[in-house]
Amino acid sequence: GDVYRRDEIDSSHYPAFHQLEGVKLFDQKEMDSASHLKGEDWVKSPECQAIADDLKNVLEGLMDHLFGETEKKWSEDYFPFTEPSFELEIKYQGEWLEVLGCGVIHEEVLSMADRSERRGWAFGLGLERLAMILFEIPDIRLFWTDDERFHSQFKEGQITKFEPYSKYPPVFKDIAFWLPEDYVENDFFEMARGVAGDLVEKIDLIDEFTNPKTNRTSKCYRITYRSMDRSLTNEEIDELQDNLRDQSADIGLEVR
**Predicted confidence band at 119 (pLDDT cuts at 50, 70, 90)?**
very high
Using alpha carbons, select from 62, 30, 66 the residue that is nearest to residue 48.
30
The pTM of this model reads: 0.69
Determine the Cα angle at 226 with ends 223 and 228, to 5°.
Answer: 150
Question: What span, in angstroms and rounded, lies between the C-alpha atoms of 197 and 200?
Answer: 6
8 Å CB contact between 20 and 125: yes
**pLDDT given for residue 161 in this prediction:** 92
Task: Taking the CA atoms of 133, 137, 139 and 144 in sequence, report the sign of the dihedral they define.
Answer: negative
Question: What span, in angstroms and rounded, lies between the C-alpha atoms of 210 and 213?
Answer: 9
**pLDDT given for residue 206 in this prediction:** 97
User: Does the structure show a pLDDT above 90 at 35?
Assistant: no
**pLDDT given for residue 97 in this prediction:** 81
**Over the stretch 63-107, which tens digit does the pLDDT of each residue have?**
888 888 889 999 999 999 999 999 999 887 677 888 899 999 998
Task: Read off the DSSP letter of residue 179.
Answer: P
User: Does the structure show a pLDDT above 90 at 11?
Assistant: no
Tell me, what amino acid is at 103?
G
Spell out the residues 6+ positions from residue 145 whose beta carbon is closer than 8 angstroms to its own.
Answer: 151, 228, 229
